[in-house]
Structure 1
Amino acid sequence: MRRCCEAERDGSESVHVIAAFRLLILTGCRLREIQTLRWDYITDTGMELPDTKTGARRIPLPAAARAALSALPRTLGNPYVIEGKLDGSHITDLQHPWRRLRARAGLDDVRIHDLRHTYASNAVSSGMPIQMVGRLLGHSQIQTTMRYAHLADDPVKRAAEENAARLSGMINAPAPARERPELRIIR
């Protein structure tokens, strides 16, 4: 994303193009959801999208995404957040700007959709439950989200180690019984 900031500063990409990529990584939205995002879909609680791949969808707007939105200029008469070249339109081509930014960053094989994957992978890797990640992504089937499940192995392993260490301390502690935490077997 550093290259996006550079492109925004030097004016080689429009503020709307850069905002689109920021919103994609900060919300996990699909490309079309951001391209066609309208200002009237933005509410105090998030984005209310009436028609997505999986139907109507309510998406939380984290502070960083709200900041990206508030930095955008609004053109009177254009209802779209990510403005296109024609008056009153939304952007229709983010592939060309993406290719330029990828080339600038030396990331030739990264797709726009990989921003959504990065959002999901980061959530899973940080220990977020897979069901919650699915809700954030707007997946209607948990199987769709499960492709990220392998990324949860490290947090699960870490949790298992921490839990076993606590239990081991309870059963192996040399302290007198009255000071040792009691191990309760739960049925």
Structure 2
Amino acid sequence: MRLSEILSARVVGGRWMLDDSKNGMPRMVPIHPRVAICARKLRPTPEAKLLKKITVQRCWQKARAKVGREDLHFHDLRHSAASELVNAGVDLYTVGRVLGHKDSRSTQRYAHLAVQTLTAAVVKIGARAARRSMRVQKITHPHAARVGQKTKKAPRGLRCKPLI
């Protein structure tokens, strides 16, 4: 959530509600169960607001100091959350809905994929290509019974070596 959204959030039926988000549309905000437990301890203001700006700012300053990262901005949490969702395999449409985006292009700028995630994608392609290669080998060379089994040479042009 954006800081402004956290500050304007109201509790409605045990859920967080934003009457005025950045995109101008009211929305219910999904929150993690651990956040919900902490939020229950808060006493909403008469306007049903959960937090005051000064409270959030002080907590944020303490957290940055504790981890030794004074250069972090509150909005960096939003980028990190979006990237973590993408890296966990959540589709961009869902990530956009969690972030409250109307346009998928807004979501894409938050989707910083980890090198590990990109590598895993390439490995999946390689494994799929290897399985296809084995099928081609079995089809083109009837003596190829199983993966890893020694085979007679296929006629020139029909040889297909496993990729793995």
1:80 — aligned with what?
49
2:12 — aligned with what?
40
2:120 — aligned with what?
158
Amino acid at match of 1:159: A
TM-aligned CA deviation for residue 166 of structure 1: 3.7
1:92 — aligned with what?
53
SS of the residue 1:149 aligns to? coil
2:64–2:70 CA contact under 8 A, matched in 1: yes
SS of the residue 1:58 aligns to? strand
2:5–2:21 CA contact under 8 A, matched in 1: yes
- Does residue 53 (structure 1) correspond to residue 10 (structure 2)? The answer is no
CA distance in 2, matches of 1:119, 1:35: 19
CA distance in 1, matches of 2:50, 2:9: 6
Q: What TM-score, normalized to structure 1?
A: 0.60
TM-aligned CA deviation for residue 33 of structure 1: 1.2
- Greater relative CO (CA pairs within 8 A, separation 6+): 1
1:19-34 matched pairs, under 5 angstroms: 29-34=1-6
TM-aligned CA deviation for residue 75 of structure 1: 6.0
SS of the residue 2:48 aligns to? coil
Task: Name the structure where helix makes up a greater proportion of residues.
Answer: 1
- In structure 1, the gaps of 5 or more residues are 1-28, 83-90, 181-187
The one of 37, 42, 55 aligned to 1:67: 37
SS of the residue 1:39 aligns to? strand
Amino acid at match of 2:130: S
Q: 1:32 to 1:150 in 2, by over 3 A?
A: closer
Q: Give the number of aligned pairs.
A: 140
Q: 1:57 to 1:155 in 2, by over 3 A?
A: same
- In structure 2, the gaps of 5 or more residues are 148-164
Post-superposition Cα deviations, 1:47-98, rounded to whole Å, max 9, x if no partner, equal 332211112122223322222222x14268462222xxxxxxxx13233442
SS of the residue 1:52 aligns to? coil
1:168 — aligned with what?
130
Q: What TM-score, normalized to structure 2?
A: 0.67
2:103 — aligned with what?
141
CA distance in 1, matches of 2:59, 2:113: 30
